[in-house]
Chains A and B, each alone.
Chain A
Amino acid sequence: GAVVSQHPSRVICKSGTSVKIECRSLDFQATTMFWYRQFPKQSLMLMATSNEGSKATYEQGVEKDKFLINHASLTLSTLTVTSAHPEDSSFYICSARDPDGFSYEQYFGPGTRLTVT
């Protein structure tokens, strides 16, 4: 199946700093990528849909100025958490849609554990 990677896998940052998380589709080109957030023992919550070459679409309640998404190429999307605070600590997961597969199939990255101190 299609492979999606994320970097870093874990990051610890101080309150007030910004953190960038990368999501890459390794063996396919992804016109659409998705960013999710998952709290401990909870389900995945869609934050935004990232489309290559255009602005991301954010879900209701997600601050687009705080969670900056850039999908500059067909294999890379980045999520930048700006001015991070402890409440931003979470597990962030990206997924990518394989355009050669059924249009709804998504492949998930391994996730990034963000801890803000």
Chain B
Amino acid sequence: GENVEQHPSTLSVQEGDSAVIKCTYSDSASNYFPWYKQELGKGPQLIIDIRSNVGEKKDQRIAVTLNKTAKHFSLHITETQPEDSAVYFCAATGSSGGYQKVTFGIGTKLQVIP
């Protein structure tokens, strides 16, 4: 099955700095890579995603890059703000036995220091 590794597990940045979270995946058949933000006591919220036919995608202060050859993808948050503080999960999605399964990374706790 798919295995997703995510690092770092914790990340502290000063407000206004950039934050980068990296993930690798093992299954070359995976073709959809979402990123989720989870605040304490809440469910994950999709913040950006990328499909395997695209190398980069940007949405305001958030960008994601994908290197299919190396099987890794990254989340970049620029001009970080205190409200960006949360746990971020990367995920890889592919078909398994006819079902689309999402495999999550372990999560990165991001703290933005005002």
- Report 25 cross-chain contacts, Cβ distance below 8 Å, ordered by A residue: A6-B43, A32-B99, A43-B89, A43-B105, A43-B106, A43-B107, A44-B89, A44-B104, A49-B101, A57-B97, A103-B100, A104-B93, A104-B100, A104-B102, A105-B32, A106-B46, A106-B102, A107-B46, A108-B36, A108-B46, A109-B43, A110-B43, A111-B41, A111-B42, A113-B41
Question: Given that A104-B93, A105-B34 are known contacts, is A93 also in contact with B106, CB under 8 Å in the complex?
Answer: no
Which one of B41, B49, B105, B106 contacts A105 once the chains associate, using CB atoms below 8 Å? Answer: B49
Q: How far is the CB of A21 from chain B (nearest CB, A)?
A: 13
Q: How far is the CB of A86 from chain B (nearest CB, A)?
A: 20
Are B106 and A108 interface neighbours, CB within 8 A?
Answer: no
Q: How far is the CB of A97 from chain B (nearest CB, A)?
A: 7
Docked pose: A1 CA to B44 CA in angstroms = 13
Q: What's the interface size class on A, roughly? A: 20 to 34
Q: B interface, by DSSP: helix, strand, loop or mixed?
A: strand
Q: What's the interface size class on B, roughly? A: 20 to 34
Question: Given that A110-B43, A111-B42, A111-B43 are known contacts, is A102 also in contact with B32, CB under 8 Å in the complex?
Answer: yes
Apart from the given pairs A4-B43, A102-B51, A104-B32, 7 other A-B contacts in the complex at a CB distance below 8 Å: A34-B102, A43-B106, A44-B44, A46-B101, A57-B99, A95-B43, A104-B102
